[in-house]
Amino acid sequence: MFEIRRFTQDRTKEWNDFVRSSKNGTFLFDRNYMDYHADRFSDYSLMVFRRGKLYALLSANADGTTLVSHQGLTYGGLVMNEKTTASDVVQIFKQINTKLKENGFRRVIYKPVPWIYHRQPSEEDLYAIVEICHAKLIGRGLSSTICQSCTNKWYRVRENGSRQAQRRGLVVEASEEWDGFWEILSNNLQERYQLNPVHTVEEIKMLHQRFPQHVQLTVVKEGNHIVGGTVLYQFEHVVHSQYIATNNRGRDIHALDYLFSIVIPNSLRDHSFFDFGISTEKHGSYLNEGLIYQKEGFGGRGICYDWYEWDLSIQ
* 69-116 residue pLDDT tens: 999 999 999 999 999 999 999 999 999 999 999 999 999 999 999 999
66: domain range?
Answer: 3-133
Among the three residues 133, 166, 200, which one is the final residue of a domain in this structure? 133
Total domains, the chain:
2
Residue 61: predicted pLDDT: 97
- Give domain status of residue 242, yes or no: yes
- Give domain status of residue 139, yes or no: no
Residues 273, 237, single domain; the answer is yes
- Give domain status of residue 55, yes or no: yes
CATH number, position 78: 3.40.630.30
Model confidence over 34-74: pLDDT tens digits? 999 888 899 999 999 999 999 999 999 999 999 999 999 99
Distance CA 102, CA 114 (A): 30
Query: Which carries the bigger pLDDT value, residue 33 or residue 1?
Result: 33
Average pLDDT over residues 160-176: 97
- Give domain status of residue 232, yes or no: yes
Residue 112: predicted pLDDT: 97
- Give domain status of residue 217, yes or no: yes
Residues 153, 122, single domain; the answer is no
- Give domain status of residue 52, yes or no: yes
Residues 125, 210, single domain; the answer is no
Residue 125: predicted pLDDT: 98
Phi, psi of 161, rounded to the nearest 5 degrees: -60, -40
Residues 8, 81, single domain; the answer is yes
Supply the DSSP string of 23-82, one letter for each residue. Answer: SS--GGGSHHHHGGGGGGSEE--EEEEETTEEEEEE--EEETTEEEE-TTSS---EEE-T
Residue 273: predicted pLDDT: 98
Residues 93, 199, single domain; the answer is no
Average pLDDT over residues 234-244: 97
**Hey, how many other C-beta atoms are within 10 angstroms of the C-beta on 248?**
12
Residues 273, 127, single domain; the answer is no
Per the prediction, the chain carries an average pLDDT of 96
Instruction: Band the pLDDT of 244: cuts 50, 70, 90.
Output: very high
Residues 162, 287, single domain; the answer is yes
pTM assigned to the model: 0.95
Residue 251 has pLDDT above 80, yes or no: yes
Distance CA 152, CA 297 (A): 9
Residues 150, 272, single domain; the answer is yes
- Give domain status of residue 315, yes or no: no
Residue 253: predicted pLDDT: 98
Residue 37: predicted pLDDT: 85
Q: Percent of the chain beyond pLDDT 70?
A: 100
Residues 173, 47, single domain; the answer is no
- Give domain status of residue 309, yes or no: no
Average pLDDT over residues 118-130: 97
Among the three residues 109, 133, 157, which one is the final residue of a domain in this structure? 133
Among the three residues 111, 133, 155, which one is the final residue of a domain in this structure? 133
